[in-house]
Structure 1
Amino acid sequence: MTEFLDDVAALARELVRIDSRSFVSNLPLAAAVEAALPGFAIERIDYADAAGVAKRALVARRGTGSGGLAFSGHMDTVPDTGWTEDPWSGRIDGDTLHGLGSTDMKGPLAACIVAARALPERVPVMLVATTDEETSKRGAQEIAARSVLVREAPPAALLVAEPTRMRPVRGHRSHINFNVVATGVQAHSSTGRGRNANWDLVEFLAEMKALYRRLREDAALQDPAYDPPFSDFNPVIDNHGTAVNVTVPKATLRIKFRYSAGVDPDPVRRAVQDAATRHGLAVTEEREGAPPELPADHPLVRLCADLTGQAPATAPYGTDASELQGIAPCVVLGPGDIAQAHTPTETARLSDLARAVPVFMRLAERVAAG
């Protein structure tokens, strides 16, 4: 572990110090990742996100021939909500790295880079660095659709290094985001001349609450291989800044529905669409790729379990594996605890990051050996 500790600490700290929240450009961070990979063939995949912000995903490769392992990590972070100290300080206190993205997932990404660099040059290895994972999975989608390096020399397996405490995750849920819009008439609320769009949502929300309860009670819509077995169905209402003395002209209800490979999402989709039609509401959907899931006896899953000494599991959250699974079979495996992610006191243990490096290297060597 100690032979990798300094390298991982320095690189993870450098990455944390660069602001790469999903709504800002990640070009400075992509440049830092590229600079950390001397001797690798680098492919830059540039695009503009929905707001027109310049983004860059990266694919890096070293070694000859196809096959081998691809490490994957995302460069973006969630917003700095709730932070009371500098989110980008990269402060190191003993064994602890402080900062936004230290666990999710700049620390694990640094461990992947250090492992890839330390492998013998004869071992084929790839690094897939995405962005917009926390929002749209757009970076992973662009790589899957456009990468020349992936197409010319496809990897045999792909490891998404999200923080799992080094327990192999063989499958996870994907989501459908429902965007439901009610339209009212804006006026001073005292005049009686307006129509509040929120009232148009009330009966629809009552049906959604019944659907929420059904998801928690109906075994046919649950998957016992997951904890919890029921799907997430989480509504958020946006009145777009309307003041309390103004009738709301537009109300947007967003519902995130997560489902696993063992759950058919169509009954839920139909229930939402039918209810919206009945109540005169406009509804659109944003879908991730299908939920990725490998059987517990898949060779990649067994190999990860053997190397880590931990039994494979499933996870209720999502990762870029939903978009990258078409490239190669995916396992989610990385240092750190997901409980640290998205918190205003996010930290990573540097020793955990360093301990992951030799495990990643052994995995890459075993995959390359077939």
Structure 2
Amino acid sequence: MSDLNDRALRLAQDIVRLDSRSFVSNIGVADRIEQELSGFEIERLDYTDDSGVVKRALVARRGGPGGIAFSGHMDTVPETGWSDDPWSGRIENGHLHGLGAVDMKGQTAAAVVAAVGLPESVPVALLLTTDEETTKGGARAIAERSELAKGTRAILVVEPTDMAPMRGHRAHIQFTAIASGIQAHSATGRGRNANWDLVPFLAEMREIHHRLLSDPSLQDAAYDPVFSDFNLIIDNHGAAVNVTVPRATATIKFRYSAKIDPDPIAKAVRAAAETAGLALSESWEGRPPELPQGHPFVRLCAEATGASPNVAPYGTDAAELQAIAPCVLLGPGDIAFAHKPQEKVSIAALEAAIPVFQRIAARVAAGEA
């Protein structure tokens, strides 16, 4: 194992072992990564999220502006469904296991080590975010506040794509609809269950979902699947079955590509909420990033990997970071292992990505993108 490979694996194990689910602070992960960045200029962009948790986006640069930036996120989804230790960081059968191993602490470690291992004459930056799995708050902080990110020529978001370049992806709107009732013992008849106010709204949401599945005018043939994600979560906030529910929340994530106009869907959701008497809030991330097939950075990444460029059905920090420079998604690992128990990433794939990242960085610095 080379020094760079050994360093990347140690860093990946260390940060997998640190809990950085999106509802807790990621500063421990940021501090551990910063230990690798001797000789880099550093920006620590701290902010407090809506729950009062302190978060940190980390920007590092060496060699001045004009090069590539590698971007990864430090947060993870919750450990839903795990039966073993989500933060073990164990190595088994050539894979690194643990929450965030493939999404995307392993890739982030590989990108950090690739940047550190470049000749100092090659300009390179790291845009390391948090809250990617929720609000994109870390990427937004970098796009709005970072001085070191200025002058970046291109951004490689190192999400797991099996090293196939993704020239674009969907972005999302999150709708949160809240129904209010009156809490009481359900047998007394003195309460009012908020779920009954939520039901007609949910029926309308089911119709929108069916339209997205069946209406070609709302679909994009470049993507797999062609239809937009319209995923529903319902929360009664811990109410028991013998209690009339005082608060019922329906949260929907609607993902759409650049070809799709989201306004008709947003208007339909608003109308349904108003008719049902629900309080509705919306959270929009940046527009879907999508570069043309012939874009120089897309071509460069395709040549460096020997893989044809494609588009991804999910979303990433590129929705916000595209305000800084053109973005391509490219990283080792299989997205199929993300957001599920027994998450893992191939160590060999992480190692193989490091020289590819470095070749792309050198070509961007030479003005090829």
TM-score of Structure 1 vs Structure 2, range by shorter chain: over 0.9
AA at the equivalent of 2:294: D
Deviation at 1:93, TM superposition (A): 2.3
Distance in 2 of aligned mates of 1:196 and 1:17: 42
Output the amino acid matched with 2:47.
Answer: Y
Please state how far the C-alpha of 1:28 moved relative to its aligned partner.
1.2
Residue segments in structure 2 that go unaligned for 5+ positions in a row: none
Matched, 1:142 2:141: yes
Q: Would the aligned equivalents of 1:76 and 1:133 in 2 still touch at CA under 8 Å?
A: yes
Deviation at 1:43, TM superposition (A): 0.8
Task: Report what 1:74 is aligned to.
Answer: 73
1:187–1:247 Cα contact (<8 Å) kept: yes
- Report the aligned-residue RMSD: 1.2
Alignment-derived partner of residue 210 in structure 1:
207
- 1:68 deviates by 0.7
Q: How does 1:224-263 map to 2 (within 5 A)?
A: 224-263=221-260
Secondary structure of 1:20's counterpart equals coil
Q: Residues 261-300 of structure 1 correspond to what in structure 2 (within 5 A)?
A: 261-300=258-297
Which amino acid in structure 2 is aligned with residue 32 of structure 1? R
1:88-103 equivalences in 2 (<5 Å):
88-103=87-102
Residue 9 of structure 2 aligns with an amino acid whose one-letter code is A
Matched, 1:127 2:126: yes
Using the alignment, how far apart are the partners of 2:124 and 2:288 within structure 1? 25
Q: Of 323, 338, 341, which aligns to 2:338?
A: 341
8 Å CA contact retained: 1:5, 1:350:
no
Percentage identity across paired residues of the two chains: 64
CA shift, 1:94, in A, is 4.5
Does the 8 A contact of 1:2 with 1:354 survive in 2?
A: no
In the alignment, residue 15 of structure 1 is paired with which amino acid?
A: I
In 2, the alpha carbon distance for the partners of 1:351 and 1:2 equals 12
Partner of 1:26: 26
Q: How far, CA to CA, are the matches of 1:80 and 1:212 in structure 2?
A: 28
1:120 deviation in Å?
A: 0.8
Contact 1:197–1:247 (CA under 8 A) maintained in structure 2: yes
Partner SS for 2:183: coil
Matched, 1:222 2:219: yes
Q: Does 1:332 align with 2:326?
A: no
Tell me what 2:193 maps to. 196
CA–CA distance in structure 1, aligned partners of residues 232 and 92 of structure 2: 39
Once the two structures are overlaid, the 10-residue window that deviates more, 85-94 or 14-23, is 85-94
SS at match of 1:215: helix
Q: Deviations over 1:303-357 (max 9, x none)?
A: 1001101001111110000010000000000000001111110111111001000
**Distance (whole Å) between structure 2 residues aligned to residue 294 and residue 301 of structure 1:** 7
What is residue 52 of structure 1 aligned with on the other side?
A: 52
Aligned to 2:161: 164
**With structure 1 as the length reference, what TM-score do the two structures score?**
0.97
Query: What is the CA deviation profile of residues 144-194 of structure 1, one whole-angstrom value per residue up to 9, with x for unaligned ones?
Result: 11112123xx21000000000000011111111111111112222112222
Q: Deviations over 1:272-318 (max 9, x none)?
A: 11111112111110111111100111111111001101001111110
- The reply to whether residue 63 of structure 1 matches residue 60 of structure 2 is no
1:136 offset after TM fit, Å?
Answer: 0.9
CA contact (8 A) 1:8 1:350 kept: no
Matched, 1:350 2:317: no
Which whole-Å CA distance do the structure 2 matches of 1:247 and 1:89 have between them?
Answer: 41
Which residue number in structure 1 is paired with residue 109 of structure 2?
Answer: 110
Q: Secondary structure at the match of 2:358?
A: helix
Secondary structure at 1:36's aligned position in 2?
A: coil
Partner of 2:364: 367
One-letter amino acid matched to 2:79: D
For these two proteins, the number of residue pairs brought into alignment is: 367
Query: Structure 2 CA distance, aligned partners of 1:262 and 1:138?
Result: 25
1:4 CA displacement: 3.4
Aligned-partner residue type, residue 33 of structure 2 = V
CA distance in 2, matches of 1:259, 1:349: 30
Give yes or no for contact 1:197–1:249 (8 Å, CA) kept in 2: yes
- Aligned partners of 2:4 and 2:117 also within 8 Å: no
SS in 1 for 2:148: helix
Tell me the TM-score normalized by structure 2: 0.97
Within 1, Cα distance between the matches of 2:278 and 2:13?
A: 47
Distance in 2 between residues matched to 1:369 and 1:10, nearest whole Å = 31
Any unmatched runs of 5+ in structure 1?
none
Query: Deviation per CA, 1:54-75, whole angstroms, max 9, x where unpaired?
Result: 11111000013x2110000001
CA positional deviation for 1:5: 2.5
Equivalent in the alignment of 2:9: 9
Distance apart, 1:240 and its partner CA: 1.0
